[in-house]
Amino acid sequence: MAKAGFFIRPMPVGAEVIGDVDEKDPSVQAELYAAWLDHGILLFHGVDSIERHLELSRLFGELEIHPYVPARSPLHPLLIDIGGPGRRRAFVYDESDIRVNRIPWHRDTAYTRDICKGAMLRMVEVPRQLGETRLCDTAMAYDDLPEAVKAQLVGLEYHATLRNHPVKQIRPGAFWKAARPATDAEDPAGADKEPPDEADDHGWPSVIQPALLTHPESGRQCIFLSPTYVDYFLGMDPKESQDLLEYLVDHMLKPKYVYEHRWALNDAIVWDNRRFMHSSGGNLPSDTRYGLRTTLAGPTRTGRYLDEDTKAGETLLAD
């Protein structure tokens, strides 16, 4: 039942929190957590300070310092910068769209063994146009899979590698077929940013993840792919593996499983990373888009190394 001051408005995918939230009230906390588990994403409005962003984030889990050091925000150790002053060189996609901050479909930290529980992204500078975030409910998508495909996914694992460069990301889950760094003339404001090096793999070892996750709290099955990281499914020949990946990505990205958000200032979305994957369409380099994001800590040890002697990941995570 709604408490005084706010209510939860379900959307076709996810839900929106309308009104004033007193996040210090334990019954409000319980209601928000239950709604988050139920809907998988919650959209808040008017989150107007870092303190409030951190406080609201903590309702959904313990916060962690992000393992990927370059993403960390100078504003607070528990935040990462999404775009803003740290934005990269623009890319030209399919020779038609110039964009910064474009990210293909993924789950956060799925290139580690300890995928994070979730994250809360708050927008502190909104571009004049574009810059949408899309979020896909992989539990809903699982429910509608044919029984034969559900059976095929039981016990199946995939080999995953972090891919940060738009050219390396061209695969199911990317929504472009070609990409090149913008020239200085095309992106004057980004002329001081080095285009990322295609060969730079960031040193993260590849990890093996299950194709299905039984959600540890709701018990629902989720299609546990971070599509653009998938190299192959274990035990399949390359064509079979690629066909299955394409099939699953096409299925998950049907509009009925996807929420697309156009941001307003101080909107914040908290997603359940076990259940949802997400992507970012990108914005024009002449606009600024700046998000701050918290990360909800595990404990979801879903992955393993193919070579159990690989310790590089542990070293990186210890930073």
31, 64, 81, 108: which one binds Fe ion (CB under 5 A): 108
Per the structure block, which two tokens stand in for 12?
Answer: 């076709």
Helix (H, G, I), strand (E, B) or coil at 86: helix
* Interacting residue ranges for ligand AKG, rule: CB under 6 A: 82, 101, 103, 108, 119, 121, 133, 278, 280, 291, 293
Q: HSE (CB half, 13 Å, CA atoms) of 265?
A: 5
CB of 280 to Fe ion, least distance (A): 8
Which of the listed partners (ligand AKG, Fe ion, none) does 179 bind, with a CB threshold of 5 to 8 Å by partner kind? none
Provide the phi-psi class of 232: left if phi over 0, else alpha when psi is between -120 and 50, else beta.
beta
Which of the listed partners (Fe ion, ligand AKG, none) does 82 bind, with a CB threshold of 5 to 8 Å by partner kind? ligand AKG
Closest CA to 277 of 230, 216, 218, 219: 230
Residue closer to ligand AKG by CB (options 130, 149) is 130
User: Alpha helix (H) ranges present in the chain?
Assistant: 26-39, 50-58, 138-143, 147-153, 238-252, 312-317
According to DSSP, residue 237 is labeled -
- What pairing do the DSSP bridges indicate for beta strands 268-272 and 207-210? unpaired
The residue of the chain with the least Cβ separation from Fe ion equals: 108
Restricting to residues 25-64, which ones interact with Fe ion according to CB under 5 A?
none
CB of 123 to ligand AKG, least distance (A): 8
Give Cα separations from 81 to 58, 65, 173 (angstroms).
18, 12, 23
Residue closer to Fe ion by CB (options 64, 108) is 108
* Distance from chain centroid for Cα 284: 21
CB of 275 to ligand AKG, least distance (A): 15
Residue type, 163: R
What distance in Å separates the CA atoms of residue 275 and residue 66, rounded to the nearest whole number? 20
Residue closer to Fe ion by CB (options 211, 269) is 269
Q: Please choose, out of 81-89, 102-110, 159-167, 254-262, the segment that lies near Fe ion by the rule CB under 5 A.
A: 102-110
Residue closer to ligand AKG by CB (options 110, 153) is 110
Which of the listed partners (Fe ion, ligand AKG, none) does 182 bind, with a CB threshold of 5 to 8 Å by partner kind? none
Residue closer to Fe ion by CB (options 106, 113) is 106
Q: Which helix (H) or strand (E) holds 125?
A: strand 118-125
Residue closer to ligand AKG by CB (options 108, 272) is 108
Per the structure block, which two tokens stand in for 5?
Answer: 């001051």
CB of 105 to Fe ion, least distance (A): 10
CB of 81 to ligand AKG, least distance (A): 10
Contact residues toward Fe ion (CB under 5 A) are 108
